[in-house]
Amino acid sequence: MIELRTPAEVEAMKPAGRFVAEVLATLRDETRVGTNLLEIDRRAHEMIRAAGAESCYIDYHPSFGASPFGKVICTSINDAVLHGLPFDYALRDGDLVTLDFAVAVDGWVADSAVSFVVGTPRDEDLALIDTTERALDAAIAAAVVGNRIGDISAAVAAVAHAEGLSINTDFGGHGVGREMHGDPHVPNNGKPGRGYPLRAGLVLALEPWFLQSTDQLRTDADGWTLRSGDGSRGAHSEHTIAITDDGPVILTDRSFLGVR
């Protein structure tokens, strides 16, 4: 069921969005060559406890997961692009890192993801990250009253296709509210003018994610981590936004911290 939030409820969601933004900015700043993925998870857990927030991941067990996730943040590295389960791995020079984080604060959820490179970057990795970020910007710009879900999807696809990238639509954006994943599904490819009409009060997590040379995924032995089918690298950018009569509001915006 698709739920619309009142202006007061959108306002009540802002602390969750701000907290998610602060945690991702902090973790990105602290993550470097040699950082262990389990350290990232422990640090995120510390910040959740200190804030009195609630993890959306630790007990999460959807049909596509082998077991409850058991960690509080997704850490996807290199050819992993989604649902990366943290494990005992120290980051190496040039690793492409995606952190995906969702929590509830006072019962309201916010969800966001950021990709970056530790150490010496490859040009192709920076280009892929830039493409996901530009696709996210395009998606947000299309998230206005009077448009439809297909307009958001088409905006994402236009950026990807301009770079010659293919698109997987198995996983994409989604509604956000009291739960992390709700209706509607927002695929990263679609036709403009199609789908659910966008209305004030609709809160969505928009999340373009692309792989360098495929749109096929395989599930890792951990039962969670999704990797590219051909070993190419992936990147993922995500914000939780609220559609209002005055335009989209980015609830997980990190710009107030001086970072993207």
Query: Which residues line the annotated binding site?
Result: 83, 100, 111, 174, 181, 207, 238
Residue carrying the six token digits 């990190």:
254
Alpha-carbon distances of 27 from 43, 97, 161, 234, rounded to whole Å: 8, 11, 31, 19
Q: Which helix (H) or strand (E) holds 159?
A: helix 149-162
* 3-state secondary structure (DSSP) of residue 258: coil
Annotated binding site for a divalent metal cation: 100, 111, 174, 207, 238
Residue among 166, 165, 182 at smallest CA distance from 174: 182
Backbone φ and ψ for 223, nearest 5 degrees, come out as 80, 5
- β-pairing, 54-55 vs 209-211, is unpaired
64 Cβ neighbours under 8 A, 6+ residues apart: none
Annotated binding site for substrate: 83, 181
